[in-house]
Amino acid sequence: MKIALGSDHAGVRYKQQIGDYLKSLGHEVHDLGPFSEEPVDYPLFIRPVAERVADGEFERGIVLGGSGNGEAIVANRVPGIRCGLCWNVESAKLTREHNNANMISLGQRMVDEATALAIVKTFLDTPFEGGRHERRIKLIDAV
């Protein structure tokens, strides 16, 4: 799977670890920055991830910040993106099963490293259920 990563300065450490983890699983990973913990304006790094996922260049996107809230908001402003803010494995599972999310947002200050990696694995491994959720997705995409 082709996966794009982006963060703000508060998510850089987990972003790098997640990138290494994804590569170890055989995924093609593109880190769109930043590459240090120097303060940055996170929309400059999050929006390009969302745009490239929406354009189909990448199948999934993962964005990170301190809480993950701002990153999810920025990503969800891009038409065609369904970015779920995940704080545990169950939230990652449901955002895929019920919402067909193509991106997730994580807060480096909100979850420990092991949980972050488990969320990522769940996000990638969980299929969309379809069926009764299809109508909801059409409504979400129409808004």
pLDDT single digits (tens) 90-105: 999 999 999 999 999 9
- Tell me the CATH number at 70: 3.40.1400.10
Residues 6 or more apart whose CB falls under 8 angstroms from that of 121 comprise: 25
Say how many domains are in the chain.
Answer: 1
Looking at residue 130, its pLDDT comes to 78
Residue segments in the chain with a per-residue pLDDT below the cut of 70: 131-140, 142-143
Residue with tokens 């983890």: 21
**Alpha helix segments (H runs only) across the chain:** 12-24, 43-54, 69-76, 89-97, 113-125, 134-142
Evaluate whether 68 touches 110 at the Cβ level (below 8 Å). yes
87: domain range? 2-142
Active site residues: 71, 98
Q: Which of 56, 60, 54 is nearest to 28 (CA)?
A: 60
Looking at residue 67, its pLDDT comes to 97
